[in-house]
Amino acid sequence: MAQATDSSSNGGSKLTSTHYEGTEKLLEVWFGPVQGGTKKDTHDLRNIPRDNLIDKILTPVRCEIVSVSSNEDQTAYVLSESSMFISKRRFILKTCGTTTLLKAIEPLMKLAKDFCEYKVLDIFYSRKNFFRPELQDTPHRTFDNEVAYLDSLFEGGAAYVLGRVNGECWYLYTLDCPSAVMEPDQTLEILMTHLDESTMSLFQNTTGRNVKDTTRESGIATLLPDCDINDFLFEPCGYSMNGLLPNNGYMTIHITPEKEFSYVSFETNAEMENYGELVKRVVSTFNPGRFCLTLFTNKAAKCGSSLDALKEVLLKEYNRQDRQFSEFSNYDLTFAHYIREKRP
């Protein structure tokens, strides 16, 4: 998501006259009951009052709620800088710009304990390398600083870098937890840069545009069936959407359309046996010059191994530069990076 690239601010996020950082920081935390808890009916993150979410979590992170949607499984928030999803045991916060996402963790843990009798079972913090890391605020200027901050909060932390450290790479911090999340869990993320200008024109000069028309004309509306979409256009440019799916599923897309630093992110936890066709649909919709994709799956996931679920991804007009497969205590992960072939 991006607003105007001027000296204004939104939700406290600082924008410069020449750059907006569309690249997001992504936090996913899974919770479980603390020992000795006495009230099972409190075991739900949605018991945290909205005012506390805003004051204790979003204000320190420096973003605001602009739209809300919900179903029986979860509540989804479109933010001034990306999205937040809250279900019974899972908390997801995704923020772009110069937000300070990691400042959400300590107040989140306290709120989860006070209102839900919860403790952290597992955590995933990830991001692609920034376009302009020097514009970030502490502790986000380097991954080393982010790891040091997370290590100060958790025992058994594990930090990884996938991809090329002198090129496109993706950072991950998680916990070495032998038995954290037992229910089926899988997450596909596609992070796209060097976007096609004609495709991005739908998300430029958005003043007066109908957001539903934009969602339909761009092809976003048909990426996943049975998706209840809550979409938002920013002025004068930029787009965000949250989509709710059955069985605690979601899809979220955020678009920074400016040519100099264009960026689109797609993320979903939709259950599938193979993600190849979905990857093709997403890439065809946005037509990036480059993209990274990651697929996390745990041992209970419908698709089995992430490598098996992506092995048939063969995209015309793209060369795969890298593919890496990693296995953790509960999850495995496949990372890949693609670049569009140069045409004669």
Catalytic hit among 81, 116, 177, 254: 254
From the candidates 13, 24, 177, 262, give the one annotated as an active-site residue: 24
The residue from 21, 28, 146, 189 that is catalytic is 21
Closest residue by Cα to residue 24 from 128, 123, 124, 104:
128
* Phi and psi, residue 177, nearest 5°: -110, 115
Total residues found in the chain within this entry: 344
Q: What angle do CA 267, 273, 239 make, to 5 degrees?
A: 15
Order of strands, sheet of 65-70, starting from the edge strand that comes earlier in the sequence:
65-70, 74-79, 82-87, 90-95, 25-33, 118-128, 169-175, 157-163
Looking at 240, 262, 265, 306, which residue is catalytic?
240
DSSP secondary structure letter of residue 305 = S
The distance of Cα 111 from the centroid of its chain, to the nearest Å, equals 22
Using CA atoms, how far apart are residues 29 and 298, in angstroms rounded to an integer? 15
From 80, 81, 83, 96, the catalytic residue: 96
* Helix/strand/coil percentages in the chain, nearest 5: 25, 40, 40
**Marked catalytic residue, from 13, 80, 82, 126:** 82
Q: First and final CA of the chain: distance in angstroms?
A: 33
Instruction: Tell me whether strands 263-268 and 318-327 are parallel, antiparallel or unpaired.
Output: unpaired
What lies within 8 Å, CB to CB, of 135 at 6+ separation is: 14, 16, 19, 21, 98
Q: State yes or no: is 96 an active-site residue.
A: yes
**227 part of the active site:** no
Tell me the C-alpha distance between 83 and 106, whole Å. 19
306 is catalytic: no
Number of Cβ within a 10 Å radius of residue 323: 17
Active centre residues (catalytic):
21, 24, 82, 96, 240, 254
